Structure 1
Amino acid sequence: MTDTTPADSQDYLRKRAFYDSLLTIYGRKPVLEALEDLSLPVHKLHLADSNRRDKLIERIEALAAERHIEIVYRSRRELSRISKNARQDQGVALDLALPHYGTAEAFLHEPKTNYELLAIDGITNPQNLGMIIRSACAGGMDGILLPRKGCAQIDPLVIKASTGTVFKMRLLRCEKLAPTLSAFKQRGARICGLSSHAPMTLSALEGNAPTIFVLGNETHGVSDAVDELCTHRLRIPMHNGVESLNVAVTAALIAFRERPSHSNPV
């Protein structure tokens, strides 16, 4: 007899993929700007039932109504669970259904022979993360591995710094980076760490193979657990005694370097 449990059903898988694609933003101005952008697919608007009635809230409600978006009124406590930032959500949160926002696990199971990803390892500055996303998007990277723990998350500061490219770049969420990189490595991916002391330069990396470039913490660099997984260590040549670059600049150099064209871009 065929197993038809919900976990194995196509309906379940579709629902899971949909909820994995949801990105929640918060704050009155970011939510208003998202509602004004008709290209962004919005799933649901969450408002605190204690919000003071003002022109901004009324405008947000009106835009949602015009776009036939469901509005749910919640207690402050309920809303804080959704926004995960009670101090800055201003009583407003919005779920965006983004086709480019998903999980590393789902990416691993997609049929492909080649890709290039950036991996975020302990980067905590929202402006840096936003600029990394912008550079990766402009440079044609296939995605960014973004762990939920130990890194900045997508918030209004990141969205602003990315100049909206956060809605175009493929972001692959995972719980922790090291186990995720290990899974990619087992499937043949090269894991490349950046180090000023590495013997090989970034431009010397050859081959047309699945590759993940790890961007480490702004102060401490790549974590020990991730460094142990690296198959390659690369450096960016620098002159005049300069020892390091801003991590977002490093991301741009990776994204825009000369490299073999992808055989099947994601």
Structure 2
Amino acid sequence: MKDSQEYKTKKAFFEKVITLYGRNVVVEVLQDTNIEVHKLHLAKSNKPDGSIKKIMTLAQKRGLEITYHEKSALSRISKNAKQDQGVAIDIIAKSYAHAREIQKLSRYRLIALDGIHNPQNLGMIIRSCAAGNVDGIILPKKNSAKISPLVVKASAGTLFKLPIYFCDTLQDVLHEEDDADIYTLSLEAKESIYNVKEAKKTIYVLGNESEGVSSEIVKLSSKSIIIPMNREVESLNVAVTASLIAFMKS
């Protein structure tokens, strides 16, 4: 039954499971003993040499059981038949949590992402936020880049160092956080980001790479703000914008 404690516990566990794929990524994951592995999957068709041999050796050292699949079944696990290279790994991301956990925080400084599709941008945003003065990232599952090998690479090893709060849609979260100050970054805004006086709970929303923040999200925000720019430069890459926010003094 969905209301049982067993079901809720199981659901909470699998919400933290992220599947990555690709031989180099899996080798890197297995070499990092700080990353907890749930399951390792290999296609039966893989030849046990080169990187596959290395994966098998690393798994043995860590005492991990390898599950073997037909290539078609492995592709259903990776959800990327063209790039999985016959390898997938389920990891337990302890920093990956449902956005409902935000309500338990008495104060926070968060960056929310609205329609960020480029995985490299997502990875760089995660890296900047992990290094800077940000308490977490809100990442919707719909209309957004997913955690993938490209994101892992772009984050340069910082993916699991910062809380990432997932949700179905950003609207759901912002409706719940009605006591937070919500700022959307917009090229049409008049007020400078440097004039913001942050409250105990502050959320900055960064929009799609080409279209910006959606009108639905703008309606839920407290105010739209802009990063002033010189020499008639029109805009900045969203990852650069995230960096500027991350290193602002709160």
Matching residue within 199, 202, 205 for 1:208: 199
Distance 1:254 1:109 in 2: 22
2:134 aligned residue: 141
Distance 1:66 1:102 in 2: 29
1:108 aligns with 2:99: no
In the TM superposition, what is the alpha-carbon distance from 1:255 to its structure 2 partner?
Answer: 0.8
In the TM superposition, what is the alpha-carbon distance from 1:8 to its structure 2 partner?
Answer: 4.3
Using a 3 Å threshold, how does the CA distance of structure 1 residues 220 and 236 change in structure 2: closer, same or farther? Answer: same
2:50 aligned residue: 55
- Higher mean alpha-carbon deviation, 112-121 vs 242-251, is at 112-121
Matching residue within 117, 123, 126 for 2:116: 123
Distance 1:140 1:19 in 2: 29
1:152 aligns with 2:145: yes
| Identity across matched positions, percent | 48
TM-score normalised over the length of structure 1? 0.88
Distance 2:94 2:243 in 1: 24
1:264 aligned residue: none
Distance 1:179 1:203 in 2: 28
Distance 2:70 2:114 in 1: 35
State whether residues 203 and 258 of structure 1, in contact with CA within 8 Å, keep that contact through their aligned partners in structure 2: no
Matching residue within 3, 18, 31 for 1:7: 3
Distance 1:124 1:189 in 2: 26
1:198 aligned residue: 189
Matching residue within 13, 16, 34 for 1:21: 16
In the TM superposition, what is the alpha-carbon distance from 1:12 to its structure 2 partner?
Answer: 4.3
2:71 aligned residue: 76
Distance 1:41 1:256 in 2: 30
In the TM superposition, what is the alpha-carbon distance from 1:138 to its structure 2 partner?
Answer: 0.4
In the TM superposition, what is the alpha-carbon distance from 1:245 to its structure 2 partner?
Answer: 0.7
What amino acid sits opposite 1:130 in the alignment? G
Distance 1:124 1:109 in 2: 26
The 3-state SS of whatever aligns with 2:145 is coil
**What stretches of structure 1 move > 4 A for 4+ residues in a row?**
none
TM-score normalised over the length of structure 2? 0.94
The 3-state SS of whatever aligns with 1:250 is helix
The 3-state SS of whatever aligns with 1:196 is coil
Distance 1:73 1:181 in 2: 42
In the TM superposition, what is the alpha-carbon distance from 1:14 to its structure 2 partner?
Answer: 3.7
1:41 aligned residue: 36
The 3-state SS of whatever aligns with 1:7 is coil
1:225 aligned residue: 216
In angstroms, what is the RMSD of aligned CA positions? Answer: 1.6
Q: Give aligned pairs, total.
A: 250
What amino acid sits opposite 1:166 in the alignment? L
State whether residues 103 and 177 of structure 2, in contact with CA within 8 Å, keep that contact through their aligned partners in structure 1: no
The superposition leaves residues 59-104 of structure 1 with CA deviations (integer Å, 9 ceiling, x where unpaired) of 1111111101121112223222221211111111111112101211
1:183 aligns with 2:179: no
Distance 1:150 1:207 in 2: 28
What amino acid sits opposite 2:38 in the alignment? H
In the TM superposition, what is the alpha-carbon distance from 1:197 to its structure 2 partner?
Answer: 2.5
The superposition leaves residues 26-56 of structure 1 with CA deviations (integer Å, 9 ceiling, x where unpaired) of 1000001110112211111011122233221
What amino acid sits opposite 1:168 in the alignment? K
* Structure 1 unaligned residues grouped into runs of 5+: 260-266
